[in-house]
A and B are shown apart, each in its own frame.
Chain A
Amino acid sequence: MSVLVDDDTRVVVQGITGGEGKFHAGQMLEYGTNVVAGAVPGKGGQEVHGVPVYDTVNEAVEEEDADASVVFVPPAFAGDAMFEALDTDLDLVVAITEGVPTQDMARVKRRLEETDTHLIGPNCPGLITPGEAKLGILPGNIFASGDVGLVSRSGTLTYQVVDNLTKRGIGQTTAIGIGGDPIIGTSFIDALELFENDPDTKAIAM
């Protein structure tokens, strides 16, 4: 068990044709994540790492049955990308982008309240259920499956803590980097509630 993501999660990568999007879509695939589509306006019909690219998120969701998205869109357009994702019936949106204007995030957060979607980030490393799926930029090799849930605002400090856990034989159910921005989609309290409702999470590192 895990929270938010597992090996059934079907992922669309927004911004898959950009440098970071392409690199990390490859890393996610290599980890075993079901990356089923990319979404980039004007790039519909292309393929990246063998994954079909669509012009809109909606098309990617309809054609490939995606239920989660990861946003690698530059900061000026990231707010719009999050709105686009929230206007489909995705269960989860993970915004990696750093430097999104705060007022854009206030509007996204307002929209988020009207939906059942979980938003992680922005300015975050994403989340991972070890051995099943990673959505974001976390280095997969340092994680191990186990019964500790992990949640942190910091990206690289999360890696450091996980590295220490794994080296001591303590695996993780799911690790979530919620992001360090003033306005974020999922708070510590939201994440704690998710872990509390997960029967396999025995302890939480925060």
Chain B
Amino acid sequence: MKLHEYQAKQVFADAGVPTPASTLADDVDGVVAAAEEIGYPVAIKAQVQVGGRGKAGGIKLVDDEDEAREAADAILGMDLKGYHVDRVLVEEAVDFTDELYVGVTMDRGAGKPVAMVSTKGGVDIEAVAEETPEAIATEHIDPAFGMHPYQARKAVYDAGVDAALARDVSSVLTTLYRLWDDKDGADAEINPLMVTSDGDVIAADAVMNIDEDALFRQPELAEMEDEAASGDALEQKADEYNFDYVRLEGNTGIIGNGAGLVMTTLDLVDYYGGEPANFLDVGGGAKAERIANALDMVFSDENVDSVVFNIFGGITRGDEVAKGINEALGQFEEIPKPVVVRLAGTNWEEGMEILNEDLVTVEETLEEAVKRAVEYAEAEQ
């Protein structure tokens, strides 16, 4: 889960990281009022979760009310890389001399957190990592002990941060690690951490992504989750049902359990000359209701001409899947599109008995099931 910039800044500020004065606004008058309060010049920043907002016209620096009105009018309501902008952050413009980078993330390969500092802030840090990896000082943290104070200092000195700033930057990194640790962060970063002409540091941007699997113990962060921020209607529906769902261009709908198996099904649909309409993974242990939701999900895509269910039960039981399919299809006077089912693994025989063959086509092998679904999809066109 990604926090918005304004949310992450609030979290950082509450923990004592210096941040510029700012106010959230959702209309032009609100922007002007906020700017008057803060004092010009201010930056007006679109609050959408995409990178490269500045280049896409989502961030503007303004010196007076006329410019503020013009910029607010342009940014509010704009479409930024597929996201509708309905809120902006009005923020004190910082008079800076230098831009640094500080971040904390999980190094999956090492299985340990890693703290990072660079004097090449203000640009895409992934590009820096690729072109000049030596420009980023890294320090792996032992999760049993957390970050020792010396490790923050070491990262800062290794990065070549000006000695006069070392104490302040170390302090920001220490706080950032503590937040990442306390709040189940996936990534926490400040880019840029601006150095002001007075020699202070201030967080001009803020990124905080939270581990979805840990939201159950981060209730105040879970509340910040912004459902409206995600893409089109189908994706919102997938969010509501909590499915891993990706819409694709084709007309053969696909439902399966396990990402690997669903991807294999996609490949087979392609192999037999069909075009996948989607990726939908119901996950492990899906019960009847979840299976019914999956069918509702796929039928909601008007491009879908047939559906193939590919379930290989481990923790998912064939009988539960069959019940869900019967329930979902039983609600229709007429089945909207042909459904092909292939069940294997745990309780598959019970499942096959439960399935109503008046409603679905049952195939024993994955290959036959996919072939049949592709044939149906072609016939519907």
B223 adjacent to chain A (CB < 8 Å): no
Report the nearest A residue to B113, measured CB to CB: A106
Contact among A75, A99, A153, A182 for B106, CB-based, below 8 A: A182
B77 adjacent to chain A (CB < 8 Å): no
Report the nearest A residue to B215, measured CB to CB: A101
Please give the distance in Å from B6's CB to the nearest CB on chain A: 25
Contact partners of A107 in chain B: CB under 8 A: 143-144
Cβ contact within 8 Å between A96 and B111? no
Stretch of A33-41, A42-50, A134-142 at the chain-chain interface: A134-142
Cβ contact within 8 Å between B366 and A138? no
Contact partners of A98 in chain B: CB under 8 A: 283-284
Cβ contact within 8 Å between B315 and A20? yes
Please give the distance in Å from A142's CB to the nearest CB on chain B: 7
- Kindly state the separation between the CA atoms of A20 and B261 in the bound complex, as whole angstroms: 22
Cβ contact within 8 Å between B143 and A106? yes
Cβ contact within 8 Å between B108 and A156? no
Stretch of B58-66, B165-173, B192-200, B251-259 at the chain-chain interface: B251-259
Contact partners of A138 in chain B: CB under 8 A: 314
Please give the distance in Å from B294's CB to the nearest CB on chain A: 15
- Kindly state the separation between the CA atoms of A156 and B64 in the bound complex, as whole angstroms: 60
Interface residue tally for chain A (C-beta within 8 Å)? 38
Contacts known (A102-B186, A139-B313, A163-B344); A156 close to B261, Cβ less than 8 A: yes
B260 adjacent to chain A (CB < 8 Å): yes
Cβ contact within 8 Å between A139 and B214? no
Contact partners of A104 in chain B: CB under 8 A: 214
Please give the distance in Å from A194's CB to the nearest CB on chain B: 19
B181 adjacent to chain A (CB < 8 Å): yes
Number of A-B contacts (CB under 8 A): 107
Contact partners of A142 in chain B: CB under 8 A: 344-345
Please give the distance in Å from A143's CB to the nearest CB on chain B: 11
- Kindly state the separation between the CA atoms of A105 and B106 in the bound complex, as whole angstroms: 11
| Chain B 182-216 residues near chain A, CB threshold 8 A | 184, 186, 211, 213-214, 216
- Kindly state the separation between the CA atoms of A70 and B315 in the bound complex, as whole angstroms: 14
Interface flags, A61-102, vs B, CB<8A=1, else 0: 000000000000001100000000000000000001011111
Please give the distance in Å from B298's CB to the nearest CB on chain A: 18
Report the nearest A residue to B366, measured CB to CB: A160
Cβ contact within 8 Å between A75 and B213? yes
Contact among B143, B263, B345 for A139, CB-based, below 8 A: B345
A103 adjacent to chain B (CB < 8 Å): yes
Interface flags, A189-200, vs B, CB<8A=1, else 0: 000000000000
Cβ contact within 8 Å between B314 and A180? no
B217 adjacent to chain A (CB < 8 Å): yes
A171 adjacent to chain B (CB < 8 Å): no
- Kindly state the separation between the CA atoms of A99 and B142 in the bound complex, as whole angstroms: 22
- Kindly state the separation between the CA atoms of A24 and B216 in the bound complex, as whole angstroms: 26
Contact partners of A154 in chain B: CB under 8 A: 258-261
Contact partners of B142 in chain A: CB under 8 A: 110
| Chain A 106-165 residues near chain B, CB threshold 8 A | 106-107, 109-111, 125, 136-139, 142, 152-160, 163
Please give the distance in Å from B288's CB to the nearest CB on chain A: 14
B236 adjacent to chain A (CB < 8 Å): no
Cβ contact within 8 Å between A103 and B312? no
Cβ contact within 8 Å between A100 and B213? yes
Cβ contact within 8 Å between B312 and A159? yes
A183 adjacent to chain B (CB < 8 Å): yes
Contacts known (A27-B346, A154-B259); A102 close to B314, Cβ less than 8 A: no
- Kindly state the separation between the CA atoms of A105 and B107 in the bound complex, as whole angstroms: 12
- Kindly state the separation between the CA atoms of A157 and B144 in the bound complex, as whole angstroms: 35
- Kindly state the separation between the CA atoms of A139 and B223 in the bound complex, as whole angstroms: 39
Report the nearest B residue to A140, measured CB to CB: B346
Cβ contact within 8 Å between A156 and B260? yes
Report the nearest B residue to A109, measured CB to CB: B111
| Chain A 161-205 residues near chain B, CB threshold 8 A | 163, 180, 182-183
Contact partners of B112 in chain A: CB under 8 A: 106, 110
Contact among A75, A103, A156, A180 for B143, CB-based, below 8 A: A103
Given contacts A20-B285, A125-B315, 4 further A-B contacts (CB under 8 A): A24-B315, A110-B143, A139-B348, A156-B314
Interface residues of B (CB under 8 A from A): 106, 108, 111-113, 142-144, 181, 184, 186, 211, 213-214, 216-217, 256-261, 263-264, 283-285, 312-315, 344-346, 348, 366
Q: Enumerate 27 A-B pairs (CB-CB under 8 Å) in ascending A order.
A: A27-B346, A75-B213, A76-B216, A101-B214, A102-B106, A102-B213, A102-B214, A106-B106, A106-B111, A107-B143, A110-B144, A111-B144, A137-B315, A138-B314, A139-B312, A139-B313, A139-B314, A153-B260, A155-B314, A156-B258, A156-B345, A157-B260, A157-B263, A160-B366, A180-B259, A182-B106, A183-B108
Interface residues of A (CB under 8 A from B): 20, 24, 27, 75-76, 96, 98-107, 109-111, 125, 136-139, 142, 152-160, 163, 180, 182-183
- Closest 6 A-B residue pairs measured CB to CB? A154-B260, A157-B260, A156-B258, A101-B214, A156-B261, A139-B345
